[in-house]
Structures are given as C-alpha cells and as structure tokens.
Structure 1
Amino acid sequence: MSSLMIVDENKIRKKAREEIDLGIKRALEGVNKSGQLALLSLRSVTALTSGKARWRELKEQGMLTHMFRTITGKNRAIRQAMEEDIFHFQYIAQQTLQELADRQCLTLDVIAAVHNKFNLLFLENDKKFEQVYTHLHAFFDYTEKNITNLNSRLIKAEKNIDLLNWHATLSVKKYSGINYIDLKDIEKIVCLTKDFFEITKGDWDTQNLLLLEDSMQRLQLEGSMNLMQFITELFSDRKLVNHLIEPIGGLSAQEDVYFDFNIFNMISELSRTVEPLGFSTDSLDKYQEICRFDKPISIRNLIYELLTELRIVQELILSSSGDNKVVYEVFLKQIENLDFRIDIVREIKQSTRLPLEVCRSIVKNIPSKVCTLESYEEAQELKSRLEQLRCRVEIY
C-alpha cells in the first residue's frame, strides 16, 4: 500500500482537493526541523482518528488551525477548508501524511510512536476506527519497509564518530557504578535513550537508528512491557526520571493537542504531584480514561517513542523561549470608511477566532491591537485583508 485512501474524496470538490494538495506541498517545502515534522505527523494521525464530536470541539476551541499551523500559516484557503467539515479536516491530515511519506520525512522512531498510539487508544471496538487503523497500519508498515530497504542499499559517506565510539564501548558503560549489561530493563531503556539523544543532539537518521537497534540487542534488551509497568518502575527511582530528561534540561507541561496522550506530559505532571515517599498508581487515574496501560509495547518502539517525544519537547521549549521567539503584533490604526465596520469585525473574528464582543471592541476603540502572531506571513496576510477594507494597519 503506497498511498493513503481513508477519506472519501467524493465528499470534497475536485478544485478544493487540488488547492489543498498544492498548498500542503508548498508549505512543507520550507520545513526542515525534524521535531516539527514529527509533530506534524502525530497531529495528522490524531486528526484521522478523531470523530466528528472531537472535530467540533477543536473547532469551537479554535484549535484546528493551531494543530496544523505549519500548513495553514500561509494559506487561508486551507484554514477555511479544515473548518468547513470533518471530511476536509481529515483530507488535509491524510494528504499531509502522504506528502511527508513521499518526501521521506517519516522516520522509524515516528512510525513507532504512531503504532504505540494505536495500541493505547480505547477505541478498538469502534468499527469505523478499526477501518482507519487498518489503513494507517498498512500505510506505515509499507513506509517502514521502504525506509529499511532503502538504507540497506546505501553506504553512508559520513559517520557519526561519537555514536560509533559509544556503540563500540557499550560493554564498559556504567550507570550508578553498574555495567549497562547488568542493569534492569527500565534502566537500560533510560540509559540508551538518554545517551543516544545526547550524542545525536536530537538529530538522527535511519542509519543511526539501526545502530541503536543493534545496541539494544547487545544489551539483550528485547521483548515488551506495558505502560503501567514502565511508569511504575520509572517513578520508583527519581534519579532515573532526572537522568531521562537531563538532555533537555527538565520539563514543563506542554499544553498541546498533538497527541491525545503522550508520555512526557504524564512524566511532567507526575513529577510535580507524586509524593516524596513513593509513587501511587492512583496518580494515573486521569490517563486511564484515554489509554490502555495494560497493552504491551515492544521495548524497541518504546525507546523510539521516548526519542521522538524528547525531540518534539526540545523544539517546543526552544520555540517558546523568550530569546528565540519572534512575534508580530498587528495594530489597527485607522478606518477610512466607517461603512466597512461590520465587515472589519467579521474579518478580525474569522482570522483571529476572538470572541465577537472583543472584535467589536477592537474596531470601536481604535487605535488598538488586533492580535499577536508568530508568523510574519500570517501577520502580513491579515494586514492585507484589512487594508482591502480601507483600514490603516501596522505590524510591529
């Protein structure tokens, strides 16, 4: 199976499909951050496994375009399409995944994280979800085989010397004075994840991951464990928790919708709530409602998911840092024709998702700030649309 065909294309006009496909291709041309691509992949899967009620909830919260900000930032047509109905929303997600696969942006660790998500969801008795799962499972299996086959034929000119040295010296590596080979499985998982992420600095390729898989075999790290076992054993040793998150300098809860459930959000929350005297599984009650802790996950896939999430969290932290984040404030300075006030309110509401009363207040109390945006192109587009309504707008 080389292409995704989950969404019934007959429910979307041909011209709209063409505009969406072209918009996605253009948007992804400028994206080269691995964490950003992983985030987009996981959000696409979340969209494809969402029901109509979930889509409506995200729409009301103004979160649809936030989920696909990488795609929607420069394309108003796509923003409007995903809010039209769930079919357009899921078609955008489907075509985004397809384009990522065609560009060879779906890596082994991301595919493993996707499989883990499927295994954790409660929806296996939902026939519609089973159909989506079957399509996605076949698509990702096909993509994974292609990645492995392609890399088996490549001879990489440049090698990560630090990674090769680490791999060669695994037999003498120690954690808390104990050789890696003699550690418990949970300690081996954390040490391999932490070492690999630190050495690669969050930037790896398939050859690196295959070397990591060989490292797992050398440490006799195989089989599977369920998530309850992993979390319980992890939180029985706070030193081990700190060792895992050391490469990214700690954690803060990420209020994001890229994943219905993710391990590092849970680690972050439990790190703040677990009593110093011990860990109680009662702390996991809120997560029991959305995922299955008793389903086994292969240790290989668990390590890959931890790596994928570490990379995503690292980029989220960097992008939200005050020293790295650039924002653009859009100010409404003047309205040259007051007859356009209703249209201006409508445009601001549609572009910003602000409450109607707030939009009216902005127009009534000029000069006033309309909104703050992270994308200059998006700010410029809003400025252009308001100027067409005879407004004077400035971006700071």
Structure 2
Amino acid sequence: MLLNLETDYEINDEEKQILDEKINQTLSLHLENSALMNRLVMDSVTALTTSKARSEVLANQGFFQRFLGGITGKNNKIRSQIDNDLTKAQYASQQLIQKISELNVLTFDTITMVNNKLNTFVLETDEEINRIYKTLVKFFKQTRAEFIQLENRITTLERNMRLLHWQSTIEYQMYNGIEYHELQDIEKICCITNDFIQISEGKWSTSDLLLLKPILKELGMSDKTKVSYEYFIKSIIQRPILLEKLFEGIPQNNVSELSTWDIPILKGIEKSTELKLADKYIIDTITQQLELAQVSVDKNELQSQIVQNYMKSTIAMDLKQEITLFELIIELLLSLKVVSNYDNKVINDHAIIIHDENIIESGEDFKELEVEDARLKLQDYIQLGEEGGILNTRYSWQVIKVENDKCLLWSNTPVCVQSDGKHWSESSTREVLNEPENSQMMIPSFINYFSKEEKALMLLTEVETIISANLFEGHLKEYLEQDEQCQTVITKDLIFSLSLHELKTLVYDQNISYRKKENYLLRDVSIENEFDSRVSYVGNKINTVGYPLEFAFNPISWTYPAVYISNIKFPYGTGQEDDPYRMAE
C-alpha cells in the first residue's frame, strides 16, 4: 500500500537527495536489526503527527537529534543541516515508513503499537496534521490486515513450543496461591504479559502473539473487550504488587531513562507513581490551596488529571481512549521489551556508521565517493592508559565531543579517587587525576598510567566548575540548566571529572549511556559553610552526598574522568568497542 500524505515539504532537491541516500544506506546496513527498524517507525509516526506548535517540546526533549541522527549517523555536515528541523524530519519519516513497509520488515507488535498510538492521538488545531493522522490510521490498519493474511499461511510448527505448553496449561497457572481464571481481569493481564515475555525470552513471532487470543478466552475474557489507558494505569497504581508482577525479571529503573514517546503506557504509570511518592507534595499543595478556597477535591482524581495533562502535553496522547485487551497486552509486551533492552547498544546507540562524504575533482567531472575519515568521530572508542600489576587494567574511553582539531574523551573505566568534599580546585579528586605524585590519601596518581606518547596528546583545558549552588537532584532527563545563582571557579587541567551540565549535554543528549558499573563523582561541589559541603554524584539518578568536616559516612570512591586530546589518526584499531583506536598493539 502506498503512503501518500499529499504534502509538499519545504525542502530543496539537494536536501531530499541527501536524506533519501542516507535512508537507503541505513536500511541496507541495518535491515536485519528489527529493534532499530521498529524504533525508526515509531519515531516516524511521532514526527508526522507533530505540529509546529508542539515541535519545540520534542526538540527540547532531544527527539529530532535522536531520530535524524539515527538516519544520518556521524556525518556532522549533514547533521548540522537538518537537526531540530520538523519539515525534514517529516519528509524522512514518510520515506522511511514507505520503504520499511515495502521491505516487509515491520513486526506485528510494532504495527499494533502504532495503531494504539494513533487511536489515542489528541486532535490538533492544525488541520494539516489531522489530515495526515487520518491517512496514517488507514495505512497502518491496511498494513496490519495484509500482515495477518500473510501470517495465516505460516505453519503453526514455527510457533514457540514453550509458549504452546504454557497455553495448554494456563488454567493451572497460579499467582499468589490463586489460579489465573479466578483472578481479576487486571491481575490476569499482568500475569499473562510477564509470563509471555519471560517464557519467550523477549523473542516472538506473530504466530506466538496470536496465541494470546485463545489464552484470554480460556481465562474468561474476550480479546475484543475494550479498556482505557486511564483505567489500566489507575488499577496498577492502586495495587503496587501488580506493578511488581508486571516488571518481574525486568529492570524497572530503565523506565526513567526512556522517553515518553518510546514507552507511553509505562511512562504514564511512572508519572502516577511519582505523584504518589517523590512528587506527592504537588498533590498535597494543590489540595491544600483548593481546600483553603473551600473547594472539595478527590486526590485520586486530581492525580489522574495531572497524568492525563502530562501525556497530552508531551506526546498528544488521550488516556481516556480505549483499546482492546489484546492490543493492550501487545503494547505492554513491546514496551517491556524496550525497557529490557535499554542497555543493548544495538537499540539505543546510533549504530549507523556512515562516513563523511568527500567531493574530489576528476577533470571537469565531479565524482562523489564515500571514504573513511581517519580522524576521531563522535562515539569512537579509544584505548589510552594502562595500569600494571595483577589486574593489568587498560583504560577505555569514548569520544563525546569533537571540536576541529581536538576532541573530548570520557572514560568507560572507573578511577578510584576517594573525594574529600572540597571544591574542585582544591579537591583530592583533582589531585589524584593530575598530580604525578601519589595523593595525600595515598591513592596512586592516575596520570602516571599513561605513556609519554599518550601524555603528548593531552591538552591543557580551562574548566569552569560550580563551587556554590543549589545542586540538582533527580533523574538526568529532568535536568534543564545550571543554577543561575551558582558561583564558579576556573582551573586549567589535563584530566577532570565531568560536571552535571556536561554529562547532560555531551552524554545523555547524544544518546550515549551515562549509567556505569560504579556510582561516580561529578565535578560539581557546593560549599555550604566553613565545615560542610555537598558533592554531586551519579547513582540510579543524580544525587548529592554531604561532607561534614571533609568526611562522608558513605563516600563515593570512583569517578569516570574526561580529557581533551589532539584529534589525530591512531596507528591501530578501528574505533569500535571491541577494537578501539590505540597507540600500540
């Protein structure tokens, strides 16, 4: 089926050609990567149903940088031309959906989730967007119908045998000592969803998913029964034990690292949970003000309305819209799969490596060639530094910023520093990283782990560091900017810890994973008074630790340092994680 949106995109032929070429290259390189294909389709639908009025919200959330970066890869010239541009994103989106559909690589669960997304779409005042929305609804419904027709020709022998056994014994399955058929419907949904993802190990075919229909019937439910997102979220929040069942065996902390457009239903649950726990003060404050005005208020309804408005403002989703139980379980499965695979680079990193294009002259003709740029590029891996001894640690780094003839590396290997809580210019962390002598705390000097050739690459850099501020605490995605009232100090360093602002803009916003094996110190410190200070660090979220009298009861002992180096061609390696650039074999 042809996706004809009848839209004239205000981009020139050269820009169209660039995007078309990059889309074709992306598909040829990563057609087998179903997770990446599915994400590109979901992002394409998001872009196509975004009005200019809402595009700024998505831009601030890093959507265009991620989506268009996923298409253009590391080509900085092209990236600078199209980043944060709604029109170009929408043109690329239409082309992507059409090509992926023609190649028959869409999965049934992704088509279902797209249909769910479109069914809950909040109509815009922009009639053009509403027209596009209606066309997309028709296109994906037809695509799903064709997909099912094709699937019906596939033999049942291709189904997962473990899932078939589970289906045949579903009436004997138990949750909290109660057989499934005696559970409430919401309980059944949570149990079925988690069982399915655990038994299938996150890998399923359309035939496997269609097993859910007879399973629902066996448990006394109809797959066509409809339920609203709002009702499902309310039911889960009222019984937290069901949330535990839904996420059993799945890292729930990863939900906070993903965007609302990636996993809308789980982000709705997360927002509701936050309003009951960490953000309960918001509900309490509004309730108090209304009661002072002698207005009665139901806290549960207030919470529900806040979540409803949150989903509308972020992804134009109406939680009151209904979907079938079958569609709900499909969306939950795909969302939980995304959460499970968050740390898997094949899904989250821009795995698309497309080299810069050089135009070379050949007589009067110009020929475009793809050649590999020998210098370092964003997200390349480097090996610098080696610690001898029993562990023989080799230090791995990743490029997080490129500036003309230099680039910033961030370590993937932790360094023991044992902070004393002083601000950066006087801190033991700075001393351990830069001074050639062992620190006063008897921690070995990090700079001595580098060869003479490696040290020659390092560039002395002016570093601005917070020494007094209201330090941010919370999930990194919620950090917007530095405290305007902060006091800073400037130092010159070879090696330094990242500040929170650098971590957000150079790591998180570029879809580089900031989650590490160890909790680690940032550079930001706030000196509270003569005796007390607080230091920022990264754990499950951004936290601070207090240092009364330069001593912490639970000190953070690690940091992941950064260093600017000259942007050169390394003699060995390919820049991949398993074959980093390096100075020697």
Instruction: Check whether TM > 0.5.
Output: yes
Within-5 A mapping of 1:1-396: 2-6=1-5, 8-9=7-8, 11-31=10-30, 32-59=32-59, 63-76=63-76, 79-80=79-80, 82-83=82-83, 85-123=85-123, 126-155=126-155, 157-222=157-222, 223-257=225-259, 259=261, 262-274=264-276, 280-289=300-309, 290=312, 291-319=317-345, 328-329=398-399, 392=568
Structure-2 change in CA distance of 1:266 and 1:374 (3 Å): closer
Return the alpha-carbon distance in structure 2 between the equivalents of residues 294 and 211 of structure 1: 28
What letter matches 1:296 in structure 2?
A: E
Deviates more, 1:22-31 or 1:199-208: 22-31
Shift of 1:75: 4.6
CA contact (8 A) 1:47 1:90 kept: yes
Aligned match of 1:344: none
Deviates more, 1:98-107 or 1:186-195: 98-107
RMSD: 3.6
What letter matches 1:29 in structure 2?
A: S
Structure-2 change in CA distance of 1:118 and 1:332 (3 Å): closer
Structure-2 change in CA distance of 1:79 and 1:6 (3 Å): farther
CA contact (8 A) 2:189 2:329 kept: yes
What letter matches 1:79 in structure 2?
A: R
Aligned match of 2:416: none
Give the 3-state SS of the residue equivalent to 1:123 in structure 2: coil
Structure-2 change in CA distance of 1:334 and 1:12 (3 Å): closer
Deviates more, 1:232-241 or 1:255-264: 255-264
Structure-2 change in CA distance of 1:288 and 1:304 (3 Å): same
CA contact (8 A) 2:160 2:204 kept: no
Return the alpha-carbon distance in structure 2 between the equivalents of residues 27 and 213 of structure 1: 35
Identity %: 28
Deviates more, 1:110-119 or 1:69-78: 69-78
Deviates more, 1:227-236 or 1:285-294: 285-294
Shift of 1:205: 1.3
Structure-2 change in CA distance of 1:172 and 1:130 (3 Å): same
Give the 3-state SS of the residue equivalent to 1:248 in structure 2: coil
Give the 3-state SS of the residue equivalent to 1:294 in structure 2: coil
| Structure ranking higher in strand proportion | 2
TM-score by length of 1: 0.76
Return the alpha-carbon distance in structure 2 between the equivalents of residues 313 and 297 of structure 1: 22
Q: Which runs of 5+ in 1 are unaligned?
A: 336-354, 356-364, 376-389
TM-score by length of 2: 0.53
CA contact (8 A) 2:263 2:335 kept: no
Deviates more, 1:259-268 or 1:142-151: 259-268
Cα offsets for 1:32-73 (capped at 9, x unmatched): 444333322221111001111333454466541213433221
What letter matches 1:119 in structure 2?
A: N
What letter matches 1:48 in structure 2?
A: L
Return the alpha-carbon distance in structure 2 between the equivalents of residues 75 and 258 of structure 1: 27
CA contact (8 A) 1:28 1:71 kept: no
Which has the larger Rg?
A: 2
CA contact (8 A) 1:81 1:88 kept: no
Give the 3-state SS of the residue equivalent to 1:292 in structure 2: coil
Q: Which runs of 5+ in 2 are unaligned?
A: 281-298, 349-378, 382-396, 407-480, 482-491, 497-501, 513-565, 576-580
| Structure ranking higher in helix proportion | 1
What letter matches 1:328 in structure 2?
A: Q
Give the 3-state SS of the residue equivalent to 1:251 in structure 2: helix
Shift of 1:177: 2.0
Give the 3-state SS of the residue equivalent to 2:253 in structure 1: coil
Shift of 1:106: 2.1
Give the 3-state SS of the residue equivalent to 2:342 in structure 1: helix
